[in-house]
Amino acid sequence: MNASSMTSFCGEKSRRPPVKVLSGQLRDGKGGKGECWIRRLGRANPSPLPVSVVWMQGTVVEVQSDHSSVLLLDETGNFLVNGINNIPKGKPCLCPGKYVMIMGVIQSHSPEPVLRAVKMADLSDNAATHRKTWKYEVEDLQQTLP
């Protein structure tokens, strides 16, 4: 059974794999709820890139008291992540100042990006390196995607 028949077998809409993005790209993106067309970083491939599931990194700014949502900050602005309390191992990352990776489904891209969390990981142990390289990782991936 191939991936496309498995997707239809399970009854879920097929989604593209996660794309590394910056919050500013989502904020400036075009599209409707759940999917967004962003401008790629870099100059090699100027075509718009469709995204619905994203991989982002940022610093925890604020956590709701019920631990269901967290406000994060990357180098281009804030973004909100909902559903943190529904993912495994999400709660240990929920301290202001922690540097985290989040994978999530776009719920809204404007005026402020909002994601529904799928995965979260604490990158604080090596945050300086992750922060320095993140924009380059985003650009590299976006330029290699068709």
- Segments making up each domain of the chain, as ranges: 14-144
Please tell me the predicted confidence (pLDDT) of residue 100.
Answer: 96
Please tell me the predicted confidence (pLDDT) of residue 35.
Answer: 86
pTM equals 0.85
Distance CA 91, CA 141 (A): 29
Evaluate whether 60 touches 98 at the Cβ level (below 8 Å). Answer: yes
Q: Tell me which CATH code domain 14-144 carries.
A: 2.40.50.140
Backbone angles phi, psi at 23, to 5 degrees: -60, -35
pLDDT, average across residues 36-57: 92
Higher pLDDT, 53 or 46: 53
* Residue 72 CA: distances (Å) to CA of 46, 48, 61, 95: 28, 25, 5, 11
Please tell me the predicted confidence (pLDDT) of residue 54.
Answer: 97
Name the token pair of 5.
Answer: 């028949």
Report whether pLDDT(1) > 90: no
Backbone angles phi, psi at 19, to 5 degrees: -115, 135
